[in-house]
Amino acid sequence: MGMPTLAYRVDSAVPPPGYSTFIVEESSIATTVSFSSFTTTSAAAVDSTNSNSTHWSPAHSSTLYRIDNWGAPYFAVNDSGNITVRPHGSSTLSHQEIDLLKVVKKASDPKSVGGLGLQMPLIVRFPDMLKNRLESLQSAFVSAIQTQGYESRYQGVYPVKCNQDRFVVEDIVKFGTPFRFGLEAGSKPELLLAMSCLCKGNPEALLICNGFKDAEYISLALLARKFHFNTVIVLEQEEEVKLVIDISKKLSVRPVIGLRAKLRTKHSGHFGSTSGEKGKFGLTTNHILRVVKDLHDSDMLDCLQLLHFHIGSQIPSTTLLQDGVSEAAQIYSELTRLGADMKVIDIGGGLGIDYDGSKSGNSDLSVSYSLEEYASAVVNAIRVVCDRKSVKHPIICSESGRAIVSHHSVLIFEAMSTTDTAPSMNQINLPFIELPEDARSDYWNMSDAVMRHDNETCLFYADQLKQRCVEQFKEGSLGIEQLAAVDGLFDLVTKIIVGTEPVRTYLVNLSIFTSIPDFWSIGQIFPIVPIHRLDQKPEVKAILSDLTCDSDGKIDKFIGGEANLPLHKPGNGQYYLGMFLGGAYQEALGGVHNLFGSPSVVTVLQSDGPHSFAITHAMSGPSCADVLRVMQHEPKLMFENLKHRAEEFCGIDAGSCLASTVARSFHNMPYLEPRSSCSLTAMNNGGFYYCNKEDYYAGSETGANEDEHWSYCFA
- In angstroms, the Cα distances linking 206 to 50, 185, 256, 398, 510 are 52, 11, 11, 11, 38
CA distance 74 to 70: 9
CA distance 702 to 116: 11
Name which of 646, 631, 411 is nearest 512 in CA terms: 411
650 is catalytic: no
CA distance 211 to 471: 58
**Structure-derived torsion over alpha carbons of residues 452, 453, 456, 461, reported in degrees to the nearest 10:** 60
Instruction: Give the contacts of 200 (CB within 8 A, at least 6 positions apart).
Output: 170, 173, 174, 177
What one-character-per-residue DSSP string does 391-439 give? -PPPEEE----HHHHSTTEEEEEEEEEEPPPPPPGGG--PPP----HHH
CA distance 188 to 688: 54
Query: How do strand 395-397 and strand 600-606 relate by DSSP bridges?
Result: unpaired
Name which of 572, 678, 562, 606 is nearest 97 in CA terms: 606
Name which of 535, 552, 531 is nearest 543 in CA terms: 552
- One-letter amino acid for residue 86 of the chain: R
Instruction: Give the contacts of 486 (CB within 8 A, at least 6 positions apart).
Output: 435, 439, 465, 466, 469
Q: Are 566 and 67 in contact (CB under 8 A)?
A: no
Q: Which of 209, 386, 458, 549 is catalytic?
A: 549
Q: Are 41 and 23 in contact (CB under 8 A)?
A: yes
Instruction: Give the contacts of 172 (CB within 8 A, at least 6 positions apart).
Output: 130, 134, 158, 181, 183, 404, 405
CA distance 350 to 364: 11
CA 508, 527, 100, 592 torsion-angle sign = negative
3 state DSSP class of 305 = strand
- One-letter amino acid for residue 264 of the chain: R
CA distance 274 to 270: 9
- One-letter amino acid for residue 114 of the chain: G
Residues for the chain: how many in total? 715
Name which of 200, 230, 216 is nearest 306 in CA terms: 230
CA 237, 238, 239, 245 torsion-angle sign = positive
- In angstroms, the Cα distances linking 443 to 3, 187, 199, 605 are 9, 67, 78, 64
Q: Are 243 and 218 in contact (CB under 8 A)?
A: yes
- If DSSP states are collapsed to H, E and C, what string results for 271-282? HHCCCCCCCCCC
CA atoms within 13 A on the CB side of 206: 29
Chain centroid to CA 39 = 36
3 state DSSP class of 229 = coil
| Positions marked catalytic | 549
